Amino acid sequence: MEVLRPQLVRIGGRIYRKNPIQEQTYQHEEDEDFYQGFVECAEEPCDAYEVVQTQQGFRCTVKAPSLLYKHIVGKRGDTRKKLEVETKTSISIPKPGQEGEIVITGQHRSGVISARTRIDVLLLTFRRKQPFTHFLAFFLNEVEVQERFLKFQEEVLEKCSMDHGVDSTIFQNPKKLHLTIGMLVLLSEQEIQQTCEMLQQCKEEFIDDISGGKPLEVEMAGIEYMNDDPGMVDVLYAKVHMKDGSNRLQELVDRVLERFQASGLIVKEWNSVKLHATVMNTLFRKDPNAEGRYNLYTADGKYIFKERESFDGRNILKLFENFYFGTLKLNSIHISQRFTIDSFGNYASCGQIDFS
């Protein structure tokens, strides 16, 4: 991280600088004094926080899933103690496994706000280290598309199996074909419910207008690769576009992404959704349940290195550049849970909205 161009963290409409720390030297999150030197925090009042005046001083609450409490407590309670001393506050945190609110109290409003801001930054940082649990997606597993996908797989193996790295293990499961809008970290039932409510708000505010209250008719046709070398491909995907040639699908998913990014439920990485349906992925070679680039961290925040053997996609791209997978009617956006399947072999859905 460059000192003159530090990472910025947006919280409650305000932007804070994340100071450089040597994260790579830590062996385990429980052994970290992560808080030290972490955040430059504003002391002035912030209207984004609700601070209540009481007879004893001031009070502010923070909602957070219990899984993240330990990062505020720290090893032997050191992080909480440091926060309390530096901000002159008292911080009450529910016991492990118990859902509730973190309560900050203090004699001075500015101290309570300072503690709240620092806690928010810690929560956001460790949330970003959690593996993704869910994703927003359209399912692309209609019968016609599944059959055409299996035909694509059959023809690729027939004509290109001699190319380096091309074999049956790197093809997507046809029942799991999907179009991802964004990845989510949902750590409690309350956060799942919040996501359902946010999706419903999107439907009422703009999805119905864009879709006209009808399914979006799309075509899945043509293939492309993710990286810049067709001779060393890790992900090959099918392109998805509106059948009528309009930009409605792209507009819809971009606005959903924007709304979820603004709410903090999706971390902002891109300004636009790349419409694609993965059909081949080298991570499947060793793990049929792998899910692309999203297997980056374990549950305790440790980085996972996924060694993968790329394949030579030049002949596939030449022979199947315009392969037609079929037409679909996209009528639902699902909140899908990773690493789970339903009775149809697709990702289990814990919520959805329908266009019609």
Average pLDDT over the chain reads: 86
pTM score: 0.77
Of all residues in the chain, the percent with pLDDT exceeding 70 is 81
Q: Under a CB-based contact definition with an 8 Å cutoff, are residues 98 and 66 in contact?
A: yes
Give the integer Cα–Cα distance in Å for 59 and 67: 23
- Domain residue ranges in the chain: 51-129, 134-354
Return the bridge partners of 329, or none.
217
Q: Is the dihedral of CA 179, 181, 182, 188 positive or negative?
A: negative
What fold characterizes domain 134-354? Answer: Cyclic Phosphodiesterase; Chain: A, (3.90.1140)
Cβ neighbours of 198 (radius 10 Å): 19
Hey, which bits of 114-242 come out as E strands?
Answer: 134-139, 178-184, 216-225, 235-242
Amino acid 278: pLDDT:
96
Amino acid 319: pLDDT:
98
Rounded to an integer, the average pLDDT of 60-78 is 93
- Long-range CB pairs of 237-240, under 8 A, 24+ apart, other chains included: 237/276, 237/277, 237/278, 237/279, 238/276, 238/277, 238/279, 238/323, 238/325, 239/275, 239/276, 239/277, 240/140, 240/179, 240/275, 240/276, 240/277
Residue 2 above 80 pLDDT? no
Of all residues in the chain, the percent with pLDDT exceeding 90 is 68
| Architecture per CATH, 51-129 | 2-Layer Sandwich (3.30)
